[in-house]
Amino acid sequence: MINNLLRNCILIIIVVLFFPVRSMSAVSPSRPANLDKIPDSVVSLSSGFVLVVDKQYQKIYAFHKNGSFSKVFEAPCSTGKNLGAKRIAGDARTPNGIFFATRIMRNPGSPEVYGSLAFPLDYPTLSDKRAGRNGSNIWIHGTTKPLTPFQSNGCVVLRDSDLQHLIDLIFFNKTPVIIQESINWISQNQIPTAKEELERTLYSWNKAFLEGDLKSLDALYLPGTEIKGKKREQLSAKIKTLKYLNSHFTILPRDVSILRQENNAVIMFDQIAAVNSDNSFQGSYNKLVLERIDNKWYVIDDVSGSALDERNMSKAPTAPVSPVPVNLSAAKPSSPAASRSESAAGSGSEEVINKLLKKWVASWKSGDMKIYKGCYTSDFKSKGMNLNDWVAYKTELHKRNKNINVKIANIRITASGNSATAVFTQLYSSSGLKSKGTKKLELKKTDAGWKINSESML
């Protein structure tokens, strides 16, 4: 008995000496995902999706919120060969921070190296430049080779089959991509650090903006980053319009999402911009970029939908939004049966567009791509794809996913002349993904009738 015990101990010592356990830096251990927890960098999320990259564990996650948070995507990834945050061009490190994909690139290079798709990120951001960080061409892209941890030159690399799932999750300049050394997981019920401070900064900014109090507005910005020049002139003109609206309605930021990565934060929200002739409201998508210095959050940049266009980015969505309280909502029905807009009424356009939507949904569910393609204009564009690319992408999705089901509700249609817009709640489910969100279709009246000209998730 004693001899057997000694022999076993000797064997264990030999194994440990000659076959040591690999260190954490040499492997990418799989951390079990707790569905009740979320990254603390997602301070709040009102709509859409957020992607979070965990460099230590070489994982990428996507989260969506519908009442509670749900993890809708998880896959292994590979980040920079060298550890730590990117500082300079060529250091083979992946940057840390809050980024946004600006476009989609199809077949960006050798499939073994780049896969079939790439999403360039907006690195270096203003915060990166202020900190002296440089470099370029940081992408999320695929590879057809076996994925190896810590093997990129700074990009976030996924298996090409996994990367395809991101097309439906990423909206350019709207879907945050948070990259961090390691995710700190917290309970969904836990209030993330700095949530109240960041919310207070947003509402102080909104209050000063609506009241035209430029002195108070300037005080929220880091000295030297205040709104100046032509942008300040445009701000003054916008304030005059909003001051009038603010005297009649309670105008608060809508659809607010807050992201934080260490001492950097981004607040995204919709803001009332004007009242249309039919008494509906027009809003604009906005971002505040903040830095925390000496325990205080400062705004260092603000970006509106129009400014995003000027920066050569994909246009951020602008859609009707409702203030609180809604006193002009008589023309805003909430059910499909009552979705008769004033401009479409009597013209028959709404009825025809509703029939098109039914055909579009049915063909999408069934996989009849000939009918599906016929619902679109020949010059259709979405996510950097033309009509043929779009149909090819949807066809590939049908091949990879089973039990595709699509439902739409709360349809709101507005039409004027040969143009129309349909906004609705979309519920999508398949063997690979479940999601719920607001979709916007831009339609055009052609010789063959109403057709979809562009589509986007709000």
Q: What is the pLDDT of residues 269-284, one digit of tens each?
A: 987 766 665 556 666 7
Domains 195-310 and 336-457 are alike in CATH topology: yes
In whole angstroms, how far apart are CA 86 and each of 54, 100, 138, 254, 348?
A: 15, 17, 10, 34, 57
Q: Give the residue, 322 or 202, on which the prediction is more confident.
A: 202
Q: Is the CA virtual torsion 61, 261, 70, 389 positive or negative? A: negative
User: Which CATH number, 3.30.2270.10, 3.40.50.300, 3.40.50.720, 3.10.450.50, labels domain 336-457?
Assistant: 3.10.450.50
Q: Give the residue, 457 or 171, on which the prediction is more confident.
A: 171
Neighbour tally for 224: CB within 10 Å: 8
Residue 429, pLDDT > 90, answer no
Report the distance separating Cα 75 and Cα 359, nearest Å: 34
Report the distance separating Cα 55 and Cα 53, nearest Å: 6
pLDDT at residue number 314: 34
Q: Is the CA virtual torsion 139, 143, 148, 152 positive or negative? A: negative
Interstrand relation of 381-382 and 296-304 (parallel, antiparallel or unpaired):
unpaired
Q: Which of 87-101, 103-117, 330-344 has the lowest mean pLDDT?
A: 330-344
User: What's the mean pLDDT when you consider all of the chain?
Assistant: 80
**Look-up: residue for tokens 């040499």?**
26
* DSSP per-residue letters across 324-354: SS-SS-TT---SGGG---TTTTTTTHHHHHH
pLDDT at residue number 233: 79
Angle between helices 229-246 and 195-211 (to 10 degrees): 90
Domain 195-310 in CATH 3.40.50.150? The answer is no
pLDDT at residue number 395: 84
Residue 72, pLDDT > 90, answer yes
HEC readout, 421-449: EEEEEEEEECCCCEEEEEEEEEEEEECCE
CATH number of 24-187: 2.40.440.10
Q: Which of 12-21, 187-196, 415-424 has the lowest mean pLDDT?
A: 12-21
pLDDT at residue number 347: 45
Enter the pTM of the model. 0.64
Q: Which amino acid is at 196?
A: E
Domain boundaries in the chain?
24-187, 195-310, 336-457
